[in-house]
Structure 1
Amino acid sequence: MTYKDKSEPIEVRVKDLLSRMTIEEKVAQTLCIYAKKGNFQDEQGHFDENKVKKLLLSGAGRIAEVGFVEDTPKKMAELTNKLQAFYLEESRLGIPVIFHEECLHGQMVKEATSFPQPIALAGSWNPQLIQDVYALVAEETRSRGGHHALTPVADVAREPRWGRVEETFGEDTYLVSKMTVAATKGFQGEKGNFNTKKNVIATLKHFVAHAQPEGGSNCAPVNVSERVLREVFFPPFQDAINEAGAMSVMASYNEVDGLPSHKNKWLLDDVLRKEWGFEGFTVSDYYAVYQLKQRHNVAIDEKEAAFQAFSAGIDVEMPFDECYHHLTDLVKEGRISEAYLDKVVSRLLAYKFRMGLFDDPYVDPEYADSICGSEQQRSLALKAACEAITLLKNDNEILPLNTSKIKTIAVIGPNANEVLLGGYSGKPKFYTTVLDGIKEKVGDTIDILYAEGCKITEPGDWEETDEVIASNSENDKKGIAEAIKIAERADVVILAIGGNALTSREAWNEDHLGDRPSLELVGSQNDLAKAMVETGKPIVSLLFNGKPLSINYVHNNIPAILECWYLGQETGKAVADVLFGDFNPSGKLPISFPRSVGHIPSYYNHKPNDRRGYLFDEVSPLYAFGFGLSYTTFKYSNLNLEKTHIDKNESTRLSVNVENTGNVSGHEVVQMYIHDCVSSVTRPVKELKGFEKVYLKPGETKTITLDITPKELAYWDAGMNFVVDPGTFNIMVGTSSKANDLKTITLTVIS
């Protein structure tokens, strides 16, 4: 049989195999089996061959999250091998399956390396680091038998109330694009070559505009125009497809302009395939095809939901078959042509051939056991965690801590001795809490005291806990009183507060919520902070959270603040390295911190006629996009353009000298923003259009150059054409998006 001959071209093998398949077997390639649902297990949770054989009648396209059955590296690799063998040896045509996995910041299984959450990784402003991180995640995932990662999240997060902000790379289109491209290259490799068995297929999600839901409520409608889609939400997807060859796209739960994404043919076919030339495959979000009937009320039944989604361009229904088995009847009835089904199945099969699954589908369980979550991976996890930490405040240079002047440290707060990984997390082999990391760092040289102070919520699990229970205020009062006694004995207080995995998470139904109408610290944390301030001790506040928080009291009263997000398995080590000066913090905020919910929207790239001001309050954010301090200082000078006048089809280059004017080596993120001064439609006051992270020793100066091409200058004009206007552009460069942190030079574009 030609399709089994690996010397033949993939397109020839696909055509031959397709010619042998029944309609039922073709439809099966669009279906998914969810391992979590006990499809492979008996009542005791053991692998059940009889159950598997019942699923072999027509084959299957993919299997979801085998880690729910066997989650250790070796056992999971053995199970994927066993399942693959069933499909290859016992199904009629021997078509292998694709295994897909959640890989948000490490594979969501036991003993995988756990990296910082994407919002934290974005704070590194280091695309090469992001590529390295996801390359390692891909290798670990592939070693266990996985082929397809449901990552990266390409959403642009413009709604801080939304519980899934932590899954994104922040609020800015350009930054999210660069990080998404880097993550995609990490997963798939620079050329998408799967011969080494170290790469997996990346999935861009959620297409589209999922991260600006109405009211901050997950899956709510997104009321934006086509221009906003093209300016803000499309570019990360388009860039990852064009620059990194992303092979898969997941549609979003939400609707735009009354049309749910899972039935939006303009979005999935006209834009994605015809306009952008996407040749990969699309997948539904979990249960989203059924939700066309259940929630959106645009389909009368499951069969109609299947018709709408498949016709619009959703190739695969996930995580299991609720609707797509109806495709068989829809084809036989002529509502869906078999030619269209063949087109979809051909690309699904092509990726199985491209992954080598027909020829060499098995993995080495011993290799999986040796690499996944191993000691050798820890250095990259630590580097990522260190680069993510952002110094928000450092009055009187309280940081780094001077160990020669400290005898006792009080480590206090609900996040001081907790495992803080955030959502979609596995269970890493290694984890150090803040308390552990500080103890390990100072050894016997400094006494370390600890008090929890208060709780954020009652204990619970991100996934399994539906009801989130607030902390007991009376118990918190007792805890705060104890923390005061501990703090009074110390020379300095490390206060670890913020959120947890329950206070900001995916709200996937009405009894599992995760969005909040407030950005204030949950529970008694402000009371704890006030109590610590009243002791008169020097305080360093560590914030652990998945989205921006309105920390006005902390900002106004605590001298040193570090934004830590969720740092992954090396949390304690990274925090200790920064606290004691072994690593100079270099993080920059990938999202603005509003002063209150009333300040939303707070993203920096607003329109000129916005943000006039508020009565009795500041209109600016508490912390601006791109902001982050260092233990050293930097000076910008000699700002120049290679050409100050260019044609609209030409490019130029900005250069600036950056000098480390302090006494400590450190990284600076040089940020370039552009504003089109006069345009046919309104344009933002500034937009990030370039950045570079540079390392400088004390007294060292480097010249940074950033390209300005037509792509950085163009916009969607009144006629919805992507054009460069003749006229004046302000080119701004500096340390953050704040106006007083930027130097400006003028570029003139000639028609």
Structure 2
Amino acid sequence: MTTVKPEAGATYADATAPVAERVSDLLARMTRAEKLAQLGSTWAFRVLEGGRFSAERARPILGNGLGHVTRVAGATSLKAAQVARAANAIQRFLVTETRLGIPAIVHEEVCSGVMAREATIFPQAIGVASTWAPELNRQLADAVRAQMRAMGGHQGLSPVLDVVRDPRWGRTEETYGEDPYLVARMGVAFVRGLQGADLTDGVLATAKHFVGYGASEGGLNWAPAHLPPRLLREVYLYPFEAAVREGGLQSVMAGYHELDGIPCHANRELLADILRGRWGFAGSVVSDYFAVNDLHSYHHFAQDKQRAAMLALSAGVDVELPATDAYADALEHALDAGEVSEARLDEAVSRVLRHKFELGLFEDPYVDEGAVLTAVSAERHRDVALEIGRRSLVLLKNDGVLPLLDGPGTVALIGPNADDARHLLGDYSFAAHIEALTEARERRGLLGEMMTIPDDLEIDESTDGVPTVRDELAVRLGDRLRYVPGCDVVDPSTDGFAAAVAAAAAADVAVLVLGDRSGLTPRATTGESRDRSSLDLPGVQEDLVRAVVATGTPVVAVLVAGRPVGSDFLHEKCAAVLMAWLPGETGAQAIAEVLLGEVNPSGKLPISYPRTVGQIPVFYGHKVSGGRSHWHGDYVDSPVGPRYAFGHGLGYAPFTIDRAAVEAAEVRAGDSVGVAVTLTNAGDRAGEEVVQLYVRDPQATVTRPVLELKGFARVSAAAGQRVAVRFELPTGQLGFYDRDLNYTVEPGEIEVYVGLSAHDRALAGSFVIRADANRPVTPKAYTGTTEVRDLSGEAVASPFGGDGGGPGPAVGRV
């Protein structure tokens, strides 16, 4: 049903007209003020009063319309039904009280699920990446899509496609790790799940932070990234390119940082030449929060706000978030002065309008308030979170103490993260961000007028209903469990040590649940702007570990953290180490199930695990000359290799690779080569394993990494079962950027490795790529296909998918 109030015969109100014609018709009817409004946004709380929509507050903000509403759910403490009611009221005002009746796009943060009260809190992205199961990430995004649409949301600010190789950076937890291929596979799956088959029922995905944000100087947030052009293209741009060309990505967020002296929000080469010109991206570019004015206030790249607005719009930033600032009077003055063209303004507005038509907002801007709670709280969403949580846990070390005793015996549960639900959650969970709003309200002026929090905004930081590790172990162990906190995450007090030592000494095994507190406030130790100079556990936790280990009781360390953490002592002296990351609302159940052997751990590291902070950067895909094989090899005081390799992860059912072979000795450029792998579950219980396919080009005309991930498959097998995996590897995946920065697949030999980590691998063989005169240019391929079978020849159904899936490789021209 059409709800807008157009002029008689207006094409833009005709749902049967092509979207391009509707956009053109509406644009022609708009005043400049109405156009500028479409490039702006407002915090939802600025048009609410006492949790309800206020027409009085809204009128000066929404009078000319609006592009985006910022976080109706995530910037309030409203429950799901209240979010839907507020979103409907905002849309109703825009539709009925503005001249053209243009609805707004409501965007939300969706880094670990919808950042909303009552929405599912999924494991943080670094844990999702540890599943090596893109299909699970697609299911996660599909759940987010359903929850957002039910509450009136239309654009999600994810996936984070930053490749990160410096875990000092606080936002490591928001990423899919160090490898561009793995990041791309997880990212494309998320985009497909969030956007759905049709945007009328989908949510716009927003890939961020474009580009190189995770490669910051010193691991510091907002710091410059020093990336030469080939590395930029092959590693840091690659996941975004795959998301655009394979996933149909509809939105990109520019990064806060600078590249080679040019802040990303003013970088026309990135936003116009590469993103739009080379890749054909047709969606919208949104600013990171406050980042347009940061060109002036932070980077000192623009002498004033007007210049900042001109630079950002000229470079290709279409929408300013989270509230209209530089894209208001300052941008209008730049237009008046001829510093930026009206044509560029129209181009940006057209993109925003196109999204609104494609989302179906003109036909149906409202949601069913009566159905929202059922859609948001559906048990299937929690089931997906639990499946991800179970497969995200990485067993780094185990001397046989795990699974925990299943007969008589006692367990001492110790540590600051053992009985605190809040500590299981990532930095963009609802509870964490409500803390940030509280801080902003208490420190008025912290982020200026755009972040002034009304006094009547209700703030509820509750994590009610999220069980702790103590809760879940108590259900299973009863009075055999004794809990002592020991210490706080950051507080320096050691008053609890004596009780912790006594509990450990009296127990058969001690489980220490240690790590981080994620968020954006000063109390947080990981998350946005919470960068660290050390990877040891914060506070006095390392001293607690030493005190408990000294009792002689076997110690299991469970690390609930946003980055690789833990000292040499912890990893060497603890009998077992389980990396739990930030596992979300079902994380405690997953941890308890793995500790007790109810679930076989199967997570794999998506990032190399350093021994010390002094090794950074330590990543598997380094160059031959990367210091790992020089005259003496190691550092004077430490090995150069990581403590645990990329792709590492143990289980209770060991798998062996029995055979790996390349199926052809020679292929033509543009063709594919098969790689066959047979593996066996050599354990006495069912389990899962991730088979990893790596390549090396030893003869290229520019130096290449010693290894590059090009395929993987998560497989399930019963005890003793043998499984066959076949990778179809397109030669279009094997190119690189030559001396002229053109993507090239060179003739020559390619070595192929198969293994269970970047370290635990074997040479499967090699093949030669021959030039084909009939195909002088080999199209770039982003992935191949993977087939899993048992040795009877029957296809093995897997709910996880391989890295590629689908009928064949996705290709795109450069």
TM-score normalized by the length of structure 1: 0.94
Structure-1 residue corresponding to 2:714: 693
* 1:723 aligned onto 2:727: no
Q: C-alpha deviations, 1:71-126, integer Å up to 9, x for none?
A: 21000000000110000000000010010000101111211100000000000000
Structure-2 residue corresponding to 1:394: 398
Aligned partner of 1:352 among 351, 356, 359: 356
Q: In the alignment, residue 420 of structure 2 is paired with which amino acid?
A: E
Structure-1 residue corresponding to 2:376: 372
Q: C-alpha deviations, 1:623-679, integer Å up to 9, x for none?
A: 111000010111112211221211222210101101111111111100011110111
Aligned partner of 2:23 among 14, 38, 41: 14
Report SS of the residue matched to 2:48.
coil
Structure-1 residue corresponding to 2:643: 622
1:119-518 pair list within 5 angstroms: 119-189=126-196, 191=197, 193-195=198-200, 197=201, 199-325=202-328, 326-395=330-399, 397-404=400-407, 406-419=408-421, 420-427=424-431, 430-442=465-477, 444=478, 446-457=479-490, 471-472=491-492, 475-476=493-494, 478-501=495-518, 502-507=523-528, 513-518=529-534
524-533 vs 316-325, greater mean Cα deviation: 524-533
Check 1:441–1:708 CA distance in 2 against 1; reply closer, same or farther (3 A cut): same
Q: State whether residues 550 and 594 of structure 1, in contact with CA within 8 Å, keep that contact through their aligned partners in structure 2.
A: no
Offset, 1:175 = 0.3
Offset, 1:549 = 1.4
Offset, 1:150 = 0.5
Structure-2 residue corresponding to 1:747: 767
Q: In the alignment, residue 768 of structure 2 is paired with which amino acid?
A: T
Offset, 1:706 = 1.2
Q: Gaps spanning 5+ residues in structure 2: where? A: 1-9, 432-462, 772-814
Report SS of the residue matched to 1:365.
coil
Offset, 1:503 = 4.5
Distance (Å, rounded) in 1 between the aligned partners of 2:601 and 2:553: 23
Q: C-alpha deviations, 1:517-536, integer Å up to 9, x for none?
A: 11111121122111211222
Report SS of the residue matched to 2:430.
coil
Q: C-alpha deviations, 1:234-253, integer Å up to 9, x for none?
A: 11101011111010000000
* 1:54 aligned onto 2:60: yes
Structure-1 residue corresponding to 2:670: 649
Report SS of the residue matched to 2:497.
helix
1:530-679 pair list within 5 angstroms: 530-610=546-626, 611=628, 612-679=633-700
Distance (Å, rounded) in 2 between the aligned partners of 1:573 and 1:366: 31
Q: Gaps spanning 5+ residues in structure 1: where? A: 458-470, 508-512
Q: C-alpha deviations, 1:410-457, integer Å up to 9, x for none?
A: 111111111220201025663111101111223x4x521000111112
Distance (Å, rounded) in 2 between the aligned partners of 1:281 and 1:377: 29
TM-score normalized by the length of structure 2: 0.86
Q: State whether residues 111 and 429 of structure 1, in contact with CA within 8 Å, keep that contact through their aligned partners in structure 2.
A: no
Q: In the alignment, residue 33 of structure 1 is paired with which amino acid?
A: T
Report SS of the residue matched to 1:39.
helix
Q: State whether residues 163 and 516 of structure 1, in contact with CA within 8 Å, keep that contact through their aligned partners in structure 2.
A: yes
Q: C-alpha deviations, 1:555-596, integer Å up to 9, x for none?
A: 111111110001000121111111111110000000011111
Distance (Å, rounded) in 2 between the aligned partners of 1:41 and 1:363: 18
Offset, 1:16 = 1.1
Offset, 1:367 = 1.7
130-139 vs 52-61, greater mean Cα deviation: 52-61
* 1:75 aligned onto 2:82: yes
Distance (Å, rounded) in 2 between the aligned partners of 1:504 and 1:210: 19
Q: C-alpha deviations, 1:142-163, integer Å up to 9, x for none?
A: 1100000001100001111100
Q: In the alignment, residue 236 of structure 2 is paired with which amino acid?
A: F
Q: State whether residues 394 and 601 of structure 2, in contact with CA within 8 Å, keep that contact through their aligned partners in structure 1.
A: yes
Q: State whether residues 157 and 171 of structure 1, in contact with CA within 8 Å, keep that contact through their aligned partners in structure 2.
A: yes
Give me the identity figure in percent.
41
Structure-1 residue corresponding to 2:459: none
Check 1:545–1:697 CA distance in 2 against 1; reply closer, same or farther (3 A cut): same
Q: In the alignment, residue 433 of structure 1 is paired with which amino acid?
A: T
Paired residues, what number? 718
Q: In the alignment, residue 365 of structure 2 is paired with which amino acid?
A: P
Structure-1 residue corresponding to 2:11: 2
Q: State whether residues 293 and 300 of structure 1, in contact with CA within 8 Å, keep that contact through their aligned partners in structure 2.
A: yes
Report SS of the residue matched to 1:493.
strand
Q: State whether residues 209 and 229 of structure 1, in contact with CA within 8 Å, keep that contact through their aligned partners in structure 2.
A: yes
Q: In the alignment, residue 104 of structure 1 is paired with which amino acid?
A: C
Report SS of the residue matched to 1:695.
strand
Distance (Å, rounded) in 2 between the aligned partners of 1:70 and 1:3: 36
Q: C-alpha deviations, 1:172-228, integer Å up to 9, x for none?
A: 000000000011111001x3x033x3x210000000000010011101000111111
Report SS of the residue matched to 1:347.
helix
Q: State whether residues 53 and 90 of structure 2, in contact with CA within 8 Å, keep that contact through their aligned partners in structure 1.
A: no
Q: State whether residues 152 and 180 of structure 1, in contact with CA within 8 Å, keep that contact through their aligned partners in structure 2.
A: yes
- Aligned CA-pair RMSD: 1.4
Distance (Å, rounded) in 1 between the aligned partners of 2:222 and 2:62: 35
Offset, 1:70 = 5.1
Offset, 1:604 = 0.9
Q: State whether residues 673 and 731 of structure 2, in contact with CA within 8 Å, keep that contact through their aligned partners in structure 1.
A: no
64-73 vs 77-86, greater mean Cα deviation: 64-73
Offset, 1:169 = 0.4
Could you list the structure 1 runs, at least 4 aligned residues long, displaced by more than 4 angstroms after superposition: none
Offset, 1:538 = 2.0
Q: State whether residues 525 and 538 of structure 2, in contact with CA within 8 Å, keep that contact through their aligned partners in structure 1.
A: no
Distance (Å, rounded) in 2 between the aligned partners of 1:378 and 1:447: 29
Distance (Å, rounded) in 1 between the aligned partners of 2:62 and 2:747: 63
Q: State whether residues 112 and 123 of structure 2, in contact with CA within 8 Å, keep that contact through their aligned partners in structure 1.
A: yes
Structure-1 residue corresponding to 2:730: 709
Structure-2 residue corresponding to 1:461: none
Check 1:505–1:556 CA distance in 2 against 1; reply closer, same or farther (3 A cut): closer
* 1:64 aligned onto 2:70: yes
Distance (Å, rounded) in 1 between the aligned partners of 2:29 and 2:516: 55
Distance (Å, rounded) in 1 between the aligned partners of 2:475 and 2:245: 46
